[in-house]
């Protein structure tokens, strides 16, 4: 079961890196290249990037919350709970 989770985590990290690569490529467009893209197309592109980043952020926030819960459980089992 852990191997399956590890594989899923690896795929998700690769997907995130791919998204980051696309954002970087778009960010490096020159002014003349940007002027060739219609405003509407560019806005749709930016909206798509924003939506992807929002989804990635939500996923990371969920993972962080799960890690916090796990950490809390481990601490309580070890008697390290600081209240």
Buried b (16+ CB within 10 A) or exposed e, 30-65: eeeeeeeeeeeeeeeeeeeeeebeeeeeeeeeeeee
Tokens encoding 15: 């997907």
62 within a domain of the structure (yes/no): yes
83 within a domain of the structure (yes/no): no
pTM across the whole model: 0.47
Task: Count structural domains, the chain.
Answer: 1
54 within a domain of the structure (yes/no): yes
73 within a domain of the structure (yes/no): yes
First to last CA, the chain: 34
pLDDT of residue 41: 83
44 within a domain of the structure (yes/no): yes
6 within a domain of the structure (yes/no): yes
What is the span of the domain harbouring residue 50?
2-78
- pLDDT winner (highest mean) among 12-16, 35-39, 67-71: 67-71
Q: Is the pLDDT of residue 29 over 70?
A: no
49 within a domain of the structure (yes/no): yes
Confidence band for 47, pLDDT divided at 50, 70 and 90: very high
Cβ neighbors of 56 (< 8 A, separation 6 or more) are: 16, 19
């Amino acid at each position: 079961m852990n191997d399956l989770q590890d594989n899923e985590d690896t795929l998700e990290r690769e997907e995130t890196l791919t998204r980051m690569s696309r954002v970087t490529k778009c960010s490096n467009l020159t002014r003349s290249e940007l002027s060739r893209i219609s405003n509407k197309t560019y806005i749709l592109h930016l909206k798509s990037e924003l939506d992807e980043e929002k989804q990635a952020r939500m996923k990371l926030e969920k993972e962080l919350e799960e890690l916090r819960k796990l950490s809390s459980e481990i601490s309580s089992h070890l008697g390290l709970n600081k209240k």
